[in-house]
Amino acid sequence: MQSVAKTLFPMSSEKIFRVALRGDGLLHSPRWNKGTSFTEKERKAFVLTGRLPSRVNTLDEQCERAYAQLQSRNAPIRKNSFLRSLKEQNWVLYYSLLSRHIKELTPIVYTPTEGDAIANYSHLFRRSEGMYLTFSHQETMEEDFLEQTRGRDIDLIVCTDSEAILGIGDQGVGGIGITTAKSALYTLLAGINPFKALSVVLDVGTNNQGLLDDPLYVGWQNPRIRGEAYDKFIDKFVQLVRKYHPHCLLHFEDFGVTNAQRLLECYRDEHSVFNDDIQGTGAVTLAALMAAVGVTKSKLADQRYVIYGAGSAGLGITRQVRDAIMSTDGISREDANKKFYLMDRYGLIKASLGDKTRPSLSEFVRPDDEWEDVPTNDKGEVELLEVVKKIRPTVLIGCSTHSGAFTENVVKTMAAGCDRPIIFPLSNPSRLVEVDPKHANDWTKGKALLATGSPFPPAKMLGGQEYVIAECNNALIYPGLGFGSVLCQSRRMRDSMIIAGAQRLASLSPALKDPDNALLPDFNDAPEVNFEVAIAVAEQAFDDGIAGVSWKKEDTREKAKERQWQPVYGTYEYDEGGAQ
């Protein structure tokens, strides 16, 4: 069993560690293995001389070799497999390599490539990579939980029930892949110690018929559990987290639309919980919007919002922006709600839809008398173009996966009604985007302020210069939100903390210095950006009176620097009572 590192100094200060492992045990520990970077002195102390070739490499040399090996693999899924293997061997080398090629390799270890790996999880399976808590074994859940966490100071737990994985749906036990990927980005982009992070899949079965029929499927081959039995299983897990790790952040990932918001609301007042699909998407979109209204020198409360796609992401964005309007512009919840027009597969969400409207959307249902004079389709639904014609929106956000929904007519009609239309086609992957940003740029004659959910090349402006398209990538903010909460040991992740993080991200927008530049920082700057987000989140926790640490608010930046884990090798001294 692993134990907390016994160090002479904190992990982020003088890297001197007393380690109990020797020989093959040390070389097989990804936490402690240095491979060919073990010094001559360490090789003698840890019985490694005959187990390694004679040359002592620097970390730079190891990264150069690993990158060359990676480049020899052409297909993204093969690169993903190579990096997963590297992570199983040597954490420092893995994260050091990623940190040198952040923009290039993040899509390999995260979306979109990780989605392919998850879809083929059972056929690619080689070894376990996290905690598997299965409904059929729930009687031993506490024992299983403690077996992997006893003696560990856990800062972060990322969990999923795998129902809505990365736009590819129900993936059963393969969802462990998204939790490990998210956890890796917390380390890469915010500096959370990987030994203090735990990835969990809550295997409650699957309704993916392909997995149910697959003889090689490694998960619980049973239809997905619903209702009271599901709730009790989830609650048993959450209560274990609260009991044994009360200060950790519990990150809910890729839960289905019927459970995501419901579970967040259920536990947000009991523990520091976070749902990236709802709050992370909402926060990064809010930051881009704050930057956009900074360019137009207006306020969030001045805008008229059409949200095309009212699932977890669309509703999460709506609520996040609504809460920010209330907080920053000081208007009531009721008045803020009236600024939003939500649309789903039934068209505009209005009262006459009745049971077709989910209860979670009730605050944003438009009264029918607003639309009596508006044409409808043959199903009696108000379509997007008619909504745009009537309300003349200043903000159009797409979360629908309806490719091409923002047509030339829709975009030009919107542009005729405002000086700088704010258009965010956020659906992933890029083939499902509501409008190609270069078309939105052309149709508005370069007036549109744009952000997308996937990376796109710059668009040409009328004068020939390039307009950089901002990517509303959650990874620009969620690692910092999480690190900020962990840093100050807040028992809650309050909306005020998320808004503070979004405001800090917005303040770093290149567009505030040049209105023809991107609304959000480049992804290469993600580590520095997330660090600033974390500072803002922790400082807001102090302002809210919920920080659980003994140091003062003004010490936050220095404490954050001390706390960050860095992918560098330390010096090892052998000690039978040291870390394993």
Q: Are 268 and 249 in contact (CB under 8 A)?
A: no
Catalytic residue among 34, 79, 87, 182: 182
Is 110 in the active site?
yes
Calpha distance 31→263 (Å, rounded): 33
What the block records as the tokens of 453 is: 């959910």
Calpha distance 273→279 (Å, rounded): 10
Name the DSSP letter for residue 446.
T
Q: Are 2 and 152 in contact (CB under 8 A)?
A: yes
Question: Which residues have CB under 8 Å from 35's CB, separation 6+?
Answer: 27, 52, 57, 62, 89, 90, 93
What the block records as the tokens of 267 is: 């536990």
What the block records as the tokens of 206 is: 């699957």
Q: Are 156 and 185 in contact (CB under 8 A)?
A: no
Calpha distance 577→580 (Å, rounded): 9
Question: Is it true that the peptide bond before 112 is cis, omega within 30 degrees of 0?
Answer: yes
Catalytic residue among 94, 95, 110, 267: 110
Nearest one of 528, 541, 565, 579 to 187, comparing CA atoms = 565
Nearest one of 248, 242, 241 to 156, comparing CA atoms = 248
Name the DSSP letter for residue 351.
G
Q: Which residues are catalytic?
A: 110, 182
